[in-house]
Amino acid sequence: MYGTLPYVACLLFKRDSVNLTYYRYIHRHGYRNHLYEFREEYEAMRVEVRQDAGRNLPYVINRQGRRLYFKRGTSVDKIERMYRALVMEQDPRSPHRYLDCTDEAKGYTWVDAGCAEGYTSLEMVEEVDHLYLFECDEAWIEALEATFALWREKVTICADG
């Protein structure tokens, strides 16, 4: 329903609509949170969730080989889904991609407001001069501190409260 009616309406009345691509996708695949033709590649992506015994926190190894920690008590299944979505949204084909290359952040101060797990900030931590991470969900702070422990001198974590 979500895709069929708008898809048919666009075909009949607005064949040049920029939304037609999305409606066509929804019509074929059903409504999803991520309306990308390449979504299936990430659904099949293997994600290995590990446990840090010292911190008792779950983490994954990101593309640069760095540990990305998640909130205490988050299920393995949820971490797998979250990580796939994070990587997919920063795919070069995604309209949600922040930077084409982390070199673009070289020498700058990066502000990540509502950073949650800090995925994007972790990708550019080596390039930036300083990171300011803002997160109002206190449950993420422990994971952020673990993720950015190696870069304490250049990362400021700002929590609400």
- Residues 13-63 have pLDDT tens digits of 565 666 566 666 666 666 555 556 666 777 788 999 999 999 999 999 999
Q: What gap in Å lies between CA 75 and CA 64, rounded to an integer?
A: 23
User: Given 2.30.30, 3.80.10, 3.40.50, 1.10.3470, which CATH number is that of 42-159?
Assistant: 3.40.50
Q: What residues contact 103, with CB distance under 8 A and at least 6 apart?
A: 127
Q: What gap in Å lies between CA 52 and CA 2, rounded to an integer?
A: 42
Mean pLDDT of 130-158: 96
List 159's β-bridge partners, or say none: 135
Query: DSSP string of 38-83?
Result: THHHHHT-----EEETTTTEEEEE-TTS-EEE--TT--HHHHHHHH
The residue with greater pLDDT, 110 or 160, is 110
Q: What gap in Å lies between CA 27 and CA 50, rounded to an integer?
A: 38
Mean pLDDT, the chain, rounded, equals 83
Reduced to 3 states (helix: H, G, I; strand: E, B; else coil), residue 103 is helix
- Domains of the chain, by residue range, sit at 4-31, 42-159
Q: What gap in Å lies between CA 36 and CA 71, rounded to an integer?
A: 27
pTM of the complete model: 0.77
